[in-house]
Amino acid sequence: MFRLPFRLPRRWLALVWLGLVLAWASVPAASLAAPDQRLLILMYHYIRTGVPASDRLGQGLSVAPADLDAQLRVLVQRGYVSVTLDDLVAARQGETVLPPRAAVLTFDDGYADFYTAAWPILQRYGLSATIYIISGKLGQPGYLACDQLRELADAGVTVAAHSVTHPRLPALSDAALAREMRESRRQLEECLGQPVRHFAYPSGAYDDRVRAAAAEAGYLTATTTRYGVARPDLDPLTLPRLRVFGGISLSQFIGLVATAER
C-alpha cells in the first residue's frame, strides 16, 4: 500500500472529505483512479533450462534462470518495484496511487520450478510475484504442492487461481464454467486458509460470458494474454499482460519493458 504523497492542514480535511463523498456519489469507480498510472504485468511460465530444440512450444514457455536473473536486474535498475493486484484494485478505488514504475510479475500454471528456480532469484532482487495455480494439478509431479503454496503466500507471494483443469473456458457449458471458476478458488482457499481474489484465463481465452462468470465467482481481477500495459482505469477482469518469451535477448526484454514507460 502507498500513502498519499502530501499532507493537508486539519481544517481543510473536512472540506476535502465532503468533496470526496460527493465525488464518490457522482462518478463511476473507474474514474477515481489518478490519471497516468501504468502497471507492467509480465507473464512467465517455466523457469528452466534443458528444453529440447525440437520442443518449440516448450522453448517459448521456458525462460532460463540466468535470463530471469538478468531481466529482474534490469527491472530493478530501471526503478521498478513489485506491487500486488490488490494494490491495483485499491488504486482503481482511489485508495492508493501506484508508484511510477510498478510491476506485477506473474507465473502461470503453478510449475514446481517457481519454488526451486524463480523464487530464490526474485527474493535476491526484493521482488514479489503472483502465481496462477491450476488447482487440479496441485501436488502432482512437476507442480507446486500445497505446503509450498502456504510458504510462498506467507512470504508475500500472491497465490491466484487458473481454473481446475486448464480448459478452454469459452467452450464450456455454464455449469462446467462455474465449476472451474469456483472450485479452483475453493481448493486454493482450503489449502491456504486465506481468500483467493485473482484469476487468469487459461490460454488467455475469454468472452463476455466467461468474464461474467469470473465476476460471479468473486474474483476482483482476471488477467488475459492480450498484449498491453495495465492501468487502474481498465476493466479489472480483462487485464492485458506482456509475455516474456523464452530465449529473447536482454535488449528485446528492455524493449518490451520500455513499452510500459511511454
List contacts with Zn ion (CB under 5 A).
108-109, 202
| 156/129 Cα distance (integer angstroms) | 8
Q: How near is the Cβ of 216 to Zn ion at its closest, in Å? A: 21
Select the residue whose beta carbon is closest to Zn ion and give its number.
108
> Could you give the C-alpha distances from 257 to 38, 67, 124, 246, in angstroms and in order?
12, 15, 20, 15
SS3 47: strand
Q: How near is the Cβ of 109 to Zn ion at its closest, in Å? A: 4
Nearer to Zn ion, 99 or 167 (CB): 167
Strand 158-161 to 46-47 pairing: unpaired
Q: Compute the C-alpha angle 51/168/223, nearest 5°.
A: 80
Helix and strand element counts for the chain (H, E): 10, 10
Nearer to Zn ion, 200 or 237 (CB): 200
Q: How near is the Cβ of 163 to Zn ion at its closest, in Å? A: 8
Q: How near is the Cβ of 108 to Zn ion at its closest, in Å? A: 4
Instruction: Please check whether residue 109 is in contact with residue 130, taking contact to mean a CB–CB distance below 8 angstroms.
Output: no
Nearer to Zn ion, 96 or 106 (CB): 106
* Residues near 144 by beta carbon (within 8 Å), at least 6 away in sequence: 110, 111, 112, 114, 115, 131, 133, 138, 152
Q: How near is the Cβ of 162 to Zn ion at its closest, in Å? A: 6
Instruction: Please check whether residue 88 is in contact with residue 236, taking contact to mean a CB–CB distance below 8 angstroms.
Output: yes
Nearer to Zn ion, 109 or 113 (CB): 109
Q: How many CB atoms lie within 10 A of CB 172?
A: 18
Q: How near is the Cβ of 223 to Zn ion at its closest, in Å? A: 11
Nearer to Zn ion, 108 or 233 (CB): 108
Nearer to Zn ion, 109 or 233 (CB): 109
